[in-house]
Amino acid sequence: VTSVRDEPGLRSETIRRANLSSIVRELHANGPMSRSGLVRRTGLTRSAIRGLIGELVAGGLVAEGPAALLGTPGRPSPVVRPQPDGAVVLALDIEVDSLAAAFIGLGGHLLDHVRIDRPRGHSTLTAIVTDLVELVDTLNARSERATRALVGIGVAVAGVVRRADGLVSRAPNLGWTDQPLGDRLARALGDDVQIYVGNEADLGALAEARRGAAVGADHMLFITGEVGVGGGLIVDGRPFTGVAGYGGEVGHVAVNPDGLECSCGAIGCWETEVGAMRILRRAGRTAVRGRADIDALLADAAAGEPTALAALAETGRWVGIGLAGLVNVLNPRLVVFGGLFERIHPYIGPIVDAELDRRTLPAPRRLVRVVAGVLGAEAPLLGAAELAFEPVLADPALWLNRSDVDIVETAKIAVRRVVA
């Protein structure tokens, strides 16, 4: 093994690639920035920045525009922006109630997007993959341009995922046990680009941390759900997934030993008290129309309907009971509500805070704030895109060397696989 230290040429190449990475990360996360802004944010010299940006412009990942008039003294500095078409990912989202696909460009630009409702209940892997391929086909048909620089595929799924190969070990609300989602999607969509599969709550957390309510929060807990309830955790600025990616399953923490049987087989899991089905049942309603049932309940709550408000209040109490234990264990700075909890936050926020006051140790209680997310239903989809962008962000140099022929071939393969 040759150490990097022993090889000056190799070392400077490693440094060059790391510097390209910090520039692309900065632009991807924060959007257009002046050259002098990049100098400040990356700590690189002006001349180094000039050379590296030249490479990135030639490789199509960034574009440089005329200087913005900043009203500050000195020579105006050209503005550098991420080039959305320069690196595009396909993001897929498998929820219990819906499926979605999107092309997302560098900088997090949503280029095109389609979401369809699906009937609540169990479904085979084959049926879901077939539906996803159809969605991708729809996107391909109307935005051929977007597949030109496809760099990866990111997938969010409402289940417990092994990151290494995208095996879904459990997705109780889909009826899945040990389903090879990553492999099947690779066969259906093409194995010329890498497919990354993650849990939807982990990916929602990633999206809120990068572009949403939790930007800059180093210790953050994201709670999301519809029928099931999941959690995503950012610890020391990094996603926490456990040994194999199974971590963060807060929906299956026991909160009520006398409660209902959970889809996982245990009794009284948190999601049996705070999931969509229980909220509807508390309000005396049956769930038959999927997402529309919760829409109707929230419309009634907004109109002041007492059973709807009482159901939400009781749900808020159980949200607080479960959250208090998590805050005591994890000491997060921020708790962000996504999905269903983002939508009901206006009704349950004060009740959750009161439960936390009652049940949390004083020191972590003082440090934590509970807020609604800002990315809405698309947080997992946006997080899946971030997962797929990671290789480009980590080493953009690899993508600068792709010839036009490679890119066109990738697009053709993606389209052919989708059509086949």
By the criterion CB under 5 A, which residues form the site for Zn ion? 252, 262, 264, 266, 269
Q: Which residue has the tokens 């999607």?
A: 185
Which is nearer to Zn ion, 29 or 267 (by Cβ)?
267
Report DSSP state, residue 259: S
To the nearest whole angstrom, how small is the minimum distance from the Cβ of residue 112 to Zn ion?
Answer: 36
Q: Cβ neighbours of residue 263 under 8 Å, at least 6 residues apart? A: 172, 173, 228, 271
Cβ-based neighbour number of residue 89 at 10 Å: 27
To the nearest whole angstrom, how small is the minimum distance from the Cβ of residue 161 to Zn ion?
Answer: 17
Report DSSP state, residue 62: E
Q: For 54, how many CA atoms within 13 A lie in the half-sphere containing its CB?
A: 7
C-alpha 74/C-alpha 88 separation (Å) is 36
C-alpha 5/C-alpha 8 separation (Å) is 7
| DSSP reduced 3-state for 151 | strand
To the nearest whole angstrom, how small is the minimum distance from the Cβ of residue 170 to Zn ion?
Answer: 10
Q: Which residue has the tokens 């190799």?
A: 10
Which is nearer to Zn ion, 13 or 261 (by Cβ)?
261
C-alpha 415/C-alpha 420 separation (Å) is 9
H or E element in which residue 239 lies: strand 238-240
To the nearest whole angstrom, how small is the minimum distance from the Cβ of residue 275 to Zn ion?
Answer: 10
To the nearest whole angstrom, how small is the minimum distance from the Cβ of residue 252 to Zn ion?
Answer: 4
To the nearest whole angstrom, how small is the minimum distance from the Cβ of residue 360 to Zn ion?
Answer: 23
Ramachandran angles phi, psi of 213, nearest 5°? -75, -15
Which is nearer to Zn ion, 267 or 407 (by Cβ)?
267
To the nearest whole angstrom, how small is the minimum distance from the Cβ of residue 131 to Zn ion?
Answer: 26
| 303, 225, 181, 175: CA torsion to nearest 10 | -80
Which is nearer to Zn ion, 164 or 266 (by Cβ)?
266
Which is nearer to Zn ion, 269 or 324 (by Cβ)?
269
Which is nearer to Zn ion, 255 or 330 (by Cβ)?
255
Do residues 24 and 34 touch, judged by C-beta distance below 8 A?
no
Q: What's the token pair of residue 75?
A: 């020579």
Which is nearer to Zn ion, 68 or 260 (by Cβ)?
260
To the nearest whole angstrom, how small is the minimum distance from the Cβ of residue 230 to Zn ion?
Answer: 11
Q: What angle do CA 42, 52, 396 make, to 5 degrees?
A: 85
C-alpha 130/C-alpha 190 separation (Å) is 14
To the nearest whole angstrom, how small is the minimum distance from the Cβ of residue 235 to Zn ion?
Answer: 23
Q: Cβ neighbours of residue 24 under 8 Å, at least 6 residues apart? A: 56, 61, 62, 82, 106, 392, 393, 396
C-alpha 83/C-alpha 64 separation (Å) is 9
Which is nearer to Zn ion, 264 or 310 (by Cβ)?
264
Report DSSP state, residue 230: E
Which is nearer to Zn ion, 32 or 268 (by Cβ)?
268
Count, residues in the chain: 420
To the nearest whole angstrom, how small is the minimum distance from the Cβ of residue 160 to Zn ion?
Answer: 11
Which is nearer to Zn ion, 35 or 252 (by Cβ)?
252
